[in-house]
Amino acid sequence: MVVDDSVVIRGMISRWIGAEPDMEVTASLRTGLDAVNQLERINPDVAVLDIEMPDLDGISALPQLLAKKRDLVVIMASTLTRRNAEISLKALSLGASDYIPKPESTREATAAETFRHDLIQKIRHLGAKARRGAGHNSASPPLAPSQDRSRAAAPGAAPAPAAAAPIARRAYGLLSPKVLLIGASTGGPQALMSLVAEIGPLIDRFPVLITQHMPPTFTTILAEHLARTSKRPAHEAVDGETVKPGQIYLAPGGRHMRVVRHGIDAVIALDDGPPINFCKPAVDPMFTSAIDVWQGSIMSVILTGMGSDGMRGGKDIVAAGGSVIAQDEASSVVWGMPGAAANAGICAAVLPLNQIAPKLVRAFSGDRS
């Protein structure tokens, strides 16, 4: 269900969805009020919901839609303004599954193509999880590669989703961690809020670096939310600044965040290179660059998100003697990134979100069991 007061945007999104073999547009509506009134008749799996609309805007329509259909996947769509970024993050706390920034101009080919890729991926993966959870009998959209692997049967055996091979665990690194690195994507903002609220004592003693797949402006708002939630300083990282304990550094939207050694200090190095794993910022460059600074004294966490970003960098961290913890499938909005790491056999633990903070606090206090 596409809900947007712009006939141009509605038509463009509807054409994109209609071109996909595993999804269809059930309705194209102009206002949030239309969506609320027609939801039960249309019964969609996913709603792409604009924020600014007449009669009933997206943030007002959201709780009414979820009240009528609890398992509806709602993807908030908005232009990149500070106000809309705030509203999008608020929508996540009210039950929206994800958000997507609309390009300033759909005439710019690159921006429109990025928007199309991101939107289709979000619809496909979030919709697939919702359909599995709701027990639909019709064929679900294809699983992400990492999810396919987690359900693959042994060679020569008949496919059996319930017969997934157990995930191999690695021992925690022997060196005491000196930094916490966190990567996240879809579902990440809420997971991050939950996590930083519980690791205050850890933040006081060690630096925390976070890469969340997010556009500019959104990361500005997220840093402010992280500071309020953790009650610790949190900000978008600045190129050339020294990394210090007691601080949360967030990769700014549209730039990769790396770390380099400058004398005895660790220093932020922002990178305006091309997207990595379709993402900018990406988790892999942060993970890999940290090895040159902290060698194996690294604790890394991969939270909910689509794709496999963080898995390759996580392999490098483990090879250097560090550790990787992944969020488990049940508590993830999408088990792409953490699933890729878990299925690669690089994780010391695969945990529900509410168990990650206690594990981190213990690990940074010397417990590596």
225-234 per-position pLDDT tens digit? 999 999 999 9
> Among 312, 305, 265, 304, which Cα is nearest to 286's?
312
* Reported confidence tier of residue 168, pLDDT bands at 50, 70, 90: confident
H/E element, 53: none
Closest CA to 270 of 298, 245, 237: 237
- Is residue 238 pLDDT above 70, yes or no? yes
Looking at the predicted structure, is the pLDDT value of residue 159 above 60?
no
| 213 included as an active-site residue | yes
pLDDT in tens, 75-121: 999 888 999 999 999 999 999 999 999 887 666 667 788 899 999 99
Annotated active-site residue in 4, 28, 146, 213: 213
Is 179-364 in the same CATH topology as 2-134?
yes
Domain extents in the chain: 2-134, 179-364
pLDDT band of 326, cuts 50, 70, 90: very high
pLDDT tens figures, 206-227? 999 999 999 999 999 999 999 9
Where are the strands (E) in the chain, listed by range? 2-3, 28-29, 46-50, 73-79, 98-102, 179-184, 208-212, 234-236, 248-250, 256-262, 265-271, 298-302, 323-327, 349-351
Evaluated on CA atoms 294, 211, 279, 325, the torsion sign reads: positive
Residue 285 scores a pLDDT above 70 = yes
Tell me the pLDDT band of 367, cut-offs 50, 70 and 90. confident
Q: Quick one: tokens of 360? A: 């981190």
CATH superfamily ID and name for 179-364: Methylesterase CheB, C-terminal domain (3.40.50.180)
For domain 2-134, give the CATH superfamily.
Answer: Response regulator (3.40.50.2300)
Compute φ and ψ for 353, nearest 5 degrees: -50, -40
pLDDT at residue 105, as a whole number: 66
Catalytic residue among 28, 78, 146, 185: 185
Task: pLDDT band for 130, please (50, 70, 90 cuts).
Answer: confident
Instruction: Tell me the C-alpha distance between 98 and 76, whole Å.
Output: 6
pLDDT confidence of residue 131: 76
Catalytic residue selected from 34, 45, 309, 328? 309
Query: What are the structure tokens assigned to 12, written together?
Result: 């463009």
> For the whole model, what pTM was predicted?
0.88
SS3 205: helix
- What are 304-318's pLDDT values in tens digits? 999 999 999 999 999
Buried b (16+ CB within 10 A) or exposed e, 212-237: bbbbebbbbbbbbbbbebbebebbbb
